[in-house]
Amino acid sequence: MFRWTIKSLVSEPLNFFLTSLVVGIALLLVIFFEAVFHGESQKIIAYPQNINPDVWVMQRGVFNMHMATSFIWDWKKDRVEEVEGVADVTPILYLNSIVEAGSRHWFSFVVGLKQGNKRAGPWSMATGSSHPGKGEAIIPELLGMIANVMLGDTIRIANKTFTIVGFSKDTFSMANSIAFISYADLRDIMSLSGSDSYLLVDAEPGVDPSLLAQRIKENVSKVNALTSAEFIKNDRELALQMGVELIGIMTIVGTCLAVSLVIFMLYMFMEKRRRDIAILKALGFGKFAIISSAIIQAFCITMTGLVTAVILMYTADFLTDAFYPQVSMLITPESLMRVGLVSLLIAVFASLIPICQTMKVDPLLAFQR
């Protein structure tokens, strides 16, 4: 019976391939939305992840960078430098704003860098300078391509004009990008004097970052200090939280669509086998054998669909990288396992339809001429 179950499944290879493909596309929807969201979330934390100081110091009550505002008096930099175990402190200014490049407007993290800073600027350059001077800006290479601007062209940030002096890599996503300008320019834009946004602290060799963060909080008033790992974790969680509902909705939509498609394809598949089922019944095969066969076929179709979905997903990832680099996708083992589990549930649920179909098949159908 098992042999027939499998052989009848693949006896019409085109039919089986199309069924698996449709089911695979349905499951792909579930993986795709999650992969895009994870990819985007990963890009949102690109700055703290790549700059990676030992400790981040910020205004008390602030715990992350994304969508946050932090102000600390600039004299507190000196206090932090005096804390035992601190090797170096780099102040940055930071603002969420819109970069207007060509005809495009892109939400961006704008980071203001002091002259001569060694650690807070772009970590990978495509071309040009990595140190913006007065009236100069460094923007992501991909944004430059999308907006069709080149070195020497001008862009606008918060109604102020800047000349592009460099293009950075890995600083762009669909949701936002990272632009670097001089500390002085950003201070003017923000109408500030005597304050920084964040202090990037490097510890002396052998000093535990978590102990150093604790020490900073104890010795400098009204600041929060977090290790890089904690800071990044907070940023990632916030980014994911913002998309949890979206992911949930898309997963439900994708799953419902997948269930509907799997049920439809299985229904069509079993309809073609009504006569075979009638023959099995006439020959003396009982309910258990026939139902088991239907479940195995539903399971095989769904699992083949899952494999197809994973192959399509990695293909989509490759093609996106090649042709739409602005879209970031991240396929995690967790999301694949989750979709695998969802597929199992789909298979169980969807097999109810062929079970009902097989129960309804009258063995007398075998007598039809």
Partner 1 sequence: MVNKILIAENLTREYGSGRALVRAVDNVSMTVLRGQLVLIMGPSGSGKTTLLSMLGGLLRPTEGKIMISDTEITKLDESVLPSIRARKVGFIFQGFNLLDALTVEENILFPTQLVAGGINAKRARANELIERLDLSSRRKSLPRTLSGGEKQRVAIARALINSPPLILADEPTGNLDSHNGQEVMMILQNIVNDEECTVIMVTHDPRVEDISDRILWLEDGALRNRKTELHSWVKDPVCGMRVDEWTAEVFMEYRGKRYVFCSYRCQEKFKIGPTKYITS
159 scored as a contact of partner 1 (CB under 8 A): no
The only residue of 1, 229, 311, 356 in contact with partner 1, by rule CB under 8 A: 1
14 is a contact residue toward partner 1 (CB under 8 A): no
Which range of residues in 4-12, 261-269, 302-310, 319-327 is near partner 1 by CB under 8 A?
A: 4-12
Which range of residues in 5-13, 80-88, 169-177, 239-247 is near partner 1 by CB under 8 A? 5-13
The C-alpha atoms of residue 36 and residue 330 are separated, in whole angstroms, by 6
DSSP character at residue 367: G
The helix (H) or strand (E) run that includes residue 202 is: strand 198-203
292 sits near partner 1 (criterion: CB under 8 A): no
Q: Which of 4, 63, 73, 314 binds partner 1 (CB under 8 A)?
A: 4
For partner 1, give the closer residue by CB, 309 or 355.
355
Number of residues located near partner 1, criterion CB under 8 A? 22
Does residue number 367 form part of the binding site for partner 1 (CB under 8 A)? Answer: yes
One-letter identity of residue 304: T
**Tokens 């269930």 found at:** 259
* Distance of alpha carbon 179 from alpha carbon 168, whole angstroms: 9
CB of 104 to partner 1, least distance (A): 57
CA-CA distance, 318 to 334, in Å (whole number)?
20
Q: How far is the CB of 367 from partner 1 (least distance, A)?
A: 5
Helix then strand then coil, % of the chain, to nearest 5: 55, 20, 25
Which class for 329: exposed (0-12), middle (13-18), buried (19 or more C-beta within 10 A)? buried
| Beta bridge partner(s), residue 163 | 136, 154
**For partner 1, which stretch binds (CB under 8 A), given 101-109, 172-180, 275-283, 330-338?**
275-283
Contact residues toward partner 1 (CB under 8 A) are 1, 3-4, 7-8, 11, 275-276, 279, 281-287, 363-364, 366-369
